A and B are shown apart, each in its own frame.
Chain A
Amino acid sequence: MLETYIPIGIMIFFGVTFGVVMSKASEWFGPKNPTETKLSTYESGMEPVRSAHERVSVKYYMVAMLFIIFDIEVVFLYPWAVNFRQLGTFGLVEMVIFIAILMLGYLYLWKKGALRWD
């Protein structure tokens, strides 16, 4: 049974080796010429201000969480849309129930002010 895993083992071996060799090789063989500008944080061409290790307002996490919820909704919608004809009324009803439940959650967080930025 274990023999069947040999190809996977070989692939893992080559994958890891390739990654490590490539990154280390460029580190060892590449020219190094550090200047102050090169070592500074990249902030899309702007002058970096303050440290990056700061507390971030919880509002950003809120938006991120909301994004994930509606993102996943779309992930569910795609296969349904592709198979819409085969699933027919059954699929439509199921999807309406699903979206309705999601919308109730949306209503809740909207009314509780989770979307308000200030």
Chain B
Amino acid sequence: MDFLGSELLAIAPVLSVTILSLLVLVVESLVTDSEKISYWVSVFGLLICGAISISTLDLTGNVFNHMVNVGGYGSLFATLFTTAALLTVVLSRDYLRKEHVSFGEFYLLILFSTVGMMLMAAAADLIIIFLGLELMSICLYVLAGFMRKRSISNEAALKYFLLGAFATGFLLFGIALLYGAAGTTNISYIVENYGKLAASPLFWVGLGLLMVGFAFKVGGVPFHMWIPDVYQGSPTTVSGFMATGAKAAAFSAFILVFAHQEFESGEKVHTALAFIAAASMIVGNIVAISQSNVKRMLAYSSIAHAGYMLAGLAAGNQLGRTGILFYLVTYTFMNIGAFGVLSVLEREEEKNLTFDDYAGLGTKRPFLAALMSIFMLSLAGIPPFAGFFGKYYVFVAAINAHLTWLVIVGVLTSVISVYYYLRLVMMMYFQESELQFTQPSSVSSLAVLTIAALAVVEIGVFPSSILSLINNLY
């Protein structure tokens, strides 16, 4: 009993969000007009869960027979996921009301998928990664189709579900083959015995399939096909959550399995990752240029950003891992911010989503336009915003790993990306239009967007605060 208690305490971050989700479930079943109460329970609960996650940062070790890692890496990600969930929940309330789909189940699904994400980041075993991934994905499939009367939302959910289930098949088959090669699904055992296992073709096929599964979830080319349609069709705040939380969760598992010094001698793994990274940067950035829908543009940009982060993974060194974690933290704030501004301005029936609709926003809604400009400049990687340092650390890591060609591709495509990010800024400030943005936006949404923008600026000006936090993990 004692032993169980201490183990349960050790996974307090995951446990707290689980309890919170169950609490919201009870609220949903027992209270009439539950949406309001669910919202407040979720908001305050997530604040507490975030605090619990932060307090477990210093713990180390693993529990439940080497199944779950405690503290450190997992807790950092847990904090990130609770933050992303909190921002999404607050932004969603107005959006859902506007779209006439305000059900409390929305918050419930966000919370459950957060539990899945946290499990993925804390996993010490491939089976736990799979468990977390499924918990996260199933909730996201439902969230993608949350506006069930809108056909584009249904399309997004169906596409995401079918392709996601297919990719999960790859992942699971990869785990099965790795189990066949190594005799265990324990990640650290597999990494330590890399030299012995590398002789077996079974190991390489398994690792390859695992890479396909993860690359699908992070949206790396050529496994990116689902991203534009799903992000465009899903409720805007859910797209933001998928682009940050779900991507960060997939990356956390990706790093757990692939970012190891032991693999460096193999070269194969890192070459494959480098090519996926290069393809993602090129396809994402070039296709984004031709988009007229801002939501779709952000979807392609999220493919490109997955490419930048994969460059850090391809480097396979200490700096690369630090770079990806830093990138993920900054990306969470700037991307949820960008999708948040979209959700505030969006009107029923997918109005106000094209570049042309943003014309003249700078004079009509100066505050929102300023926030959007910060997010766009940060996404483009212009200093002093946080996006610049994210790219910087990832590229330096790649240079240290002698992947200079990859960095050249990365820098060239970032230059391309400046075009479409700044096109939106130019639209807002240098174009006139007769369109009106009359509907006022709520204080809570604006407050959350301001916090995200402040975080982007703060991390950009003082990157060392986050960096030292990340460096303490290793």
Residues on A close to B: CB < 8 A?
89-90, 93-94, 101, 104-105, 107-108, 110-112
Contacts and interface: CB of A to CB of B under 8 A. Distances in A.
A104 to B, nearest CB: 5
Interface stretch (B24-32, B190-198, B383-391): B24-32
Contacts of B30: 107, 111
Interface in B124-161: none
B4 interface: yes
Interface string B1-21: 101100000000000000000
Which of A93, A94, A110 has its CB near the most chain B CB atoms (within 10 A)?
A93
Nearest to B23: A104
B201 to A, nearest CB: 11
B447 interface: no
B25 A104 contact: yes
A90 B25 contact: no
Given A111-B29, A111-B30, A112-B29, A104 B4 contact: no
A89 B3 CA distance: 12
A47 B29 CA distance: 44
B469 interface: no
B165 interface: no
Interface string B265-300: 000000000000000000000000000000000000
A89 B1 CA distance: 7
A104 B22 contact: yes
Contact of A107 (B1, B3, B4, B26): B26
Contacts of B1: 89-90, 93
A108 B29 contact: yes
A90 B4 contact: yes
26 contacts: A89-B1, A90-B1, A90-B3, A90-B4, A93-B1, A93-B4, A94-B4, A101-B22, A104-B22, A104-B25, A104-B26, A104-B29, A105-B25, A107-B25, A107-B26, A107-B29, A107-B30, A108-B25, A108-B26, A108-B28, A108-B29, A110-B29, A111-B29, A111-B30, A112-B28, A112-B29
Contacts of B29: 104, 107-108, 110-112
Nearest to B27: A108
Interface of chain A: mostly helix, strand, loop or mixed:
helix
A89 B5 CA distance: 12
A95 B25 CA distance: 20
Contacts of A112: 28-29
Nearest to A107: B29
Interface in B21-71: 22, 25-26, 28-30
A118 B4 CA distance: 45
Given A89-B1, A90-B3, A93-B4, 9 more contacts: A93-B1, A94-B4, A104-B26, A105-B25, A107-B25, A107-B26, A108-B29, A111-B29, A111-B30
A118 to B, nearest CB: 20
Nearest to B5: A93
Which of B25, B29, B30 has most chain A Cβ within 10 Å? B29
A107 B3 CA distance: 31
Contacts of B28: 108, 112
A109 B28 CA distance: 10
Contacts of A108: 25-26, 28-29
Nearest to B18: A101
B11 to A, nearest CB: 13
A101 B22 CA distance: 8
A94 B30 CA distance: 25
A108 B23 CA distance: 11
Nearest to A105: B25
B16 to A, nearest CB: 15
A70 to B, nearest CB: 17
A107 to B, nearest CB: 5
Interface in B168-212: none
**What are the 10 A-B residue pairs with the smallest beta carbon separation, nearest first?**
A111-B29, A108-B29, A107-B29, A108-B25, A104-B22, A104-B25, A89-B1, A90-B4, A104-B26, A108-B28
A89 B4 CA distance: 10
Contacts of A107: 25-26, 29-30
Contacts of B22: 101, 104
Nearest to A89: B1
Contacts of A111: 29-30
Contacts of B26: 104, 107-108
Contacts of A104: 22, 25-26, 29
Contacts of B4: 90, 93-94
A90 B64 CA distance: 13
A94 B22 CA distance: 17
Contacts of A93: 1, 4
